[in-house]
Structure 1
Amino acid sequence: MTVVMTRIDNRLLHVIIVTQWAPMSKANRVMVIDDKVANDDIAKSSMRLARPAGMAISIITEDKALNNFKSGKYDHENVFIIAKEPSTFVKLKEHNVEFNKLIVGGTVVKEGDKVIQLSQRAYATPENIVDYHKLINSGVKVVTQFVPADKPQDISSLI
């Protein structure tokens, strides 16, 4: 299995992912890892309708994703992974899922004294920052970039 792209996006699968990010990823499977959506049949069905053309789609829980990777289910696929939180990617790394770059897209505006704005559309809580540091320390380049036409900005200096 080759993870060809990883992205944090609070909307998970939406038009910018389908029309811009997915085609440039060269993936043959888009994987949405989100416990809430994976356990909501209506949300999952709606999201399946947005499947990028020519790509398989998995909308699964974090545990199922980890088990599927461990069992080699995606060994012959190029996978584009989307999740809402950096903690998901930390767990993937801890379970030896290899990827070298994480793109932080849109996140929910988070309130609080210690929230850091990473870009016009991306915010990080103290917990997120700890996870970003773990990822960076494991060799992952973490950038913020809303659409492919935007210049990616390394977040290392921001956190």
Structure 2
Amino acid sequence: MSLVLVRVDNRLIHGQVLEAWLPHVQADSIIVVDDEIANDSFRKLLMLAVVPKTVRVDVYNHQQFEGVPCSPLSSDAKVLVLFATPADALKAYRGGFHFSTLNLGNMHVGPQKCCISQTLYADCDDLDDLEQLAELGVDICAQCIPTDRKLHWDCHCRELRA
């Protein structure tokens, strides 16, 4: 299994992922790691309905996902992994799913959240989770679609905490 993109996007599978990222990274498989979606068959069905038939999609809760990276889908699969929140990505990393880069896509506005970019809003917990991932050596950048300019997290995070 070749890991071609690990992304935090609270919309999970949607147009930007399917129309921009999937062809850009040439992924043929998507893994969604989300406890809510994995346990809601209707929401899972709606999400899977928009994915091309040529793309394999697997949806796992965190407990199920712990064993997945050790038993790849296939040796030549190019996999895009999606998490809804930085906390989900950190939980997976601590559970043994190690990745070197993390793409931040969409994190919606909410109570106590500050604006990081046009599509990213984070609260203190999100910032803490991202800082922990950065301390673990993960290179984090915000980039909604591949043609957007990358916003490197290590530089921006210091500004947010100041």
Fold equivalence (TM over 0.5): yes
User: Could you list the runs of 5+ residues in structure 1 that have no partner in the other structure?
Assistant: none
The answer to whether the Cα contact below 8 Å between 2:140 and 2:153 also exists between their aligned partners in 1 is yes
- 3-state SS of paired residue (1:67): coil
CA displacement, residues 102-156 of structure 1 (integer Å, 9 cap, x when unaligned):
11111110222xx332211101111111111111112111111111111010122
Question: CA offset at residue 75 of structure 1?
Answer: 5.8
> For each residue in 1:35-70, what CA deviation from the matched residue of structure 2 results, as whole angstroms up to 9, or x when unmatched?
111111111111111124522001221111113224
Structure 1 distance, partners of 2:19, 2:150, is 18
> Could you say which residue in structure 1 is the equivalent of 2:130?
132
Pairing of 1:9-158 with structure 2 (within 5 A)? 9-52=9-52, 54-70=54-70, 72-74=71-73, 76=75, 77-112=77-112, 115-158=113-156
Cα pair 1:5 1:99 within 8 Å, conserved: no
Q: Secondary structure at the match of 1:10?
A: coil
Paired with 1:52 and 1:155, the residues of 2 have a C-alpha distance of 32
Q: For 1:37 and 1:110, how far apart are their aligned partners in 2?
A: 20
Partner residue of 1:4? Answer: 4
Is this contact kept in 1: 2:104–2:144, CA < 8 A?
Answer: yes
How many percent identity over aligned positions? 24
